[in-house]
Structure 1
Amino acid sequence: MQSQQRLLVVLAHPDDESFLCGGTIAKMSEQGVHITLLCATKGEMGRRMGNPILTTREALPGLRVKELKNACEELGISDLRFLNVRDKTIEFESFDLLAERIVKVIREVQPEALVTFHEKYGGHPDHCAIGRAAEFAYLNSGDPDFYPDPVFPAFKVHSLYFVLWHAFYDEWFKEYGLSRITEVDIAGTLQKKIRALRAHRSQTLAVPELWGNQNPSLPFLKESEYFIKGNSPTNIEEIDFFKTIERLG
């Protein structure tokens, strides 16, 4: 087991990390946490190619990978990996194969916490599909009989979190309340999040507020990010992912 705390983030597209949890990732990195981002696709089917146009449809995947690498530098993500699944097709991929590939990364990285999408509140078929596979991998990575690996032994992740997209916050709150929500204050890393979003130029040039004076009414530019607790105790108020781990041992 490594002495440095480790966080694995499993998402679907380049820019998911910046829009949904960029401030939290930057905050964790500032605290010395090692961040691994596992991105399922290269975003080749994204509707935006810049405004004005920056690239062609054929060249878009390469550009989006470059943009993601730049965003990772801003956020302090030191380990970027791809599953190389075709954009907008994750739901049609073999579920077992996806889960096995994520399990292998979990066992290699040995993270204390894993962040992904909720299968119901993902907001996009790719998001829901990768979240479902990542949760299944989380639940089974500690079982030595589940996809035995001669190199990396079974490893159980301590905590699971789902990004709570602003569009679904009210819906989740009405159904479950605050007991399973972790709110992370990102006031100190909001500017890093903004720089990471700007690194995704092909996708964010169409958001003029991001390039001028930041508009606080934009939900993804607020000073908090929210996560659904996948397994953490609901009676412990959390301000980041590792406080609960430290308290529980």
Structure 2
Amino acid sequence: MQSQHRLLVVLAHPDDESFLCGGTIAKMSERGVHITLLCATKGEMGRRMGNPIITTREALPKLRVEELKRACEELGISDLRFLNVRDKTIEFESFDLLAERIVKVIREVQPDALVTFHGKYGGHPDHCAIGRAAEFAFLKSGDPNFYPDQVFSAFKVQSLYFVLWHAFYDEWIKENGMSSITRVNIAGTLQKKIRALRSHRSQTLAVSELWGNQNPSLPFLKKSECFIKGNSPTNIEETDFFQMIERLG
């Protein structure tokens, strides 16, 4: 069954989408959800350049963009956009300007749901910074007095979710409980996630288990991906981003 839903994913670096929510993105795409990925940087400060080295520091940004495009093809992301912020500097960018730029994308794309990083549990300064800006944009995009636009009018996104990185899973559950998360079963799209990760060769060639095993066992390759509910009721179990929207009609 084809869905008319639209999903906006706002992340910091090429490969964030595959590591953190690739299986869910692929699953939503298979359902016919239109997916826009807004990537803040081109990953030019990435620690790795292949193993063995396959690029130079100067050529890395262009390569990572090409790798991300291939990953998007694997996951079914039909709309890829960049904010062109320099890698490892998002936290130093003007918060208001970042929020304004994300609001403009929201008003153009008109997504039903938005996925981004949690401002505290992002695990990286870039992640937390873009997550805070995206959350603020989520709150303000429906306000016609917030950066009025003659082309795209105010639009309120219905649902907000934050990726829950496996490194913070136990801490989050201990503090907030299981009812605060949405768990998406990705068993059917796990292989797409693995292929998307392999598209990011410059960053993943060093992860030998990912390449040397048909069914690699890694902490970011479980059969489910978890997301912190940004505004969904915690007393109702969810298994995807659109259940509550559909329930409310």
The code of the aligned residue for 1:61 comes to P
Secondary structure of the residue aligned to 1:238 is: coil
Q: Give, in whole Å, the separation in 1 of the partners of 2:217 and 2:203.
A: 19
Secondary structure of the residue aligned to 2:152 is: coil
1:82 aligned partner? 82
Secondary structure of the residue aligned to 2:178 is: coil
The code of the aligned residue for 2:205 comes to L
Residue 119 (structure 1) shift? 0.4
1:152 aligned partner? 152
| 1:98 equivalent in alignment to 2:109 | no
Cα deviation, 1:61-120, whole Å, max 9, x if unaligned, reads 000000000000000000000000000000000000000000000000000000000000
1:209 aligned partner? 209
- Contact in 2 for aligned 1:64/1:202 (Cα 8 Å): yes
Cα deviation, 1:143-167, whole Å, max 9, x if unaligned, reads 0000000000000000000000000
Deviates more, 1:235-244 or 1:53-62: 235-244
| 1:7 equivalent in alignment to 2:29 | no
Q: Give, in whole Å, the separation in 2 of the partners of 1:195 and 1:205.
A: 12
The code of the aligned residue for 2:24 comes to T
2:170 aligned partner? 170
Q: Give, in whole Å, the separation in 2 of the partners of 1:5 and 1:42.
A: 27
1:1-249 equivalent positions in 2, closer than 5 A: 4-214=4-214, 217-249=217-249
Gaps of 5+ in 2: none
TM-score relative to the length of structure 2: 0.98
Q: Give, in whole Å, the separation in 1 of the partners of 2:181 and 2:217.
A: 22
Q: Give, in whole Å, the separation in 2 of the partners of 1:126 and 1:208.
A: 26
Moved over 4 A (4+): none
- The alignment's C-alpha RMSD in Å is 0.9
- Contact in 2 for aligned 1:185/1:224 (Cα 8 Å): yes
Cα deviation, 1:37-61, whole Å, max 9, x if unaligned, reads 0000000000100000010000000
Cα deviation, 1:162-188, whole Å, max 9, x if unaligned, reads 000000000001100111100000000
Residue 215 (structure 1) shift? 5.6
TM-score relative to the length of structure 1: 0.98
Secondary structure of the residue aligned to 1:57 is: coil
Secondary structure of the residue aligned to 1:70 is: helix
Residue 4 (structure 1) shift? 2.1
Secondary structure of the residue aligned to 2:197 is: helix
The code of the aligned residue for 1:223 comes to K
Secondary structure of the residue aligned to 1:47 is: coil
Q: Give, in whole Å, the separation in 1 of the partners of 2:46 and 2:4.
A: 35
Count of residue pairs the alignment pairs up: 247
Gaps of 5+ in 1: none
Q: Give, in whole Å, the separation in 2 of the partners of 1:131 and 1:194.
A: 25
Residue 216 (structure 1) shift? 5.2
| Identical counterparts, % of pairs | 89
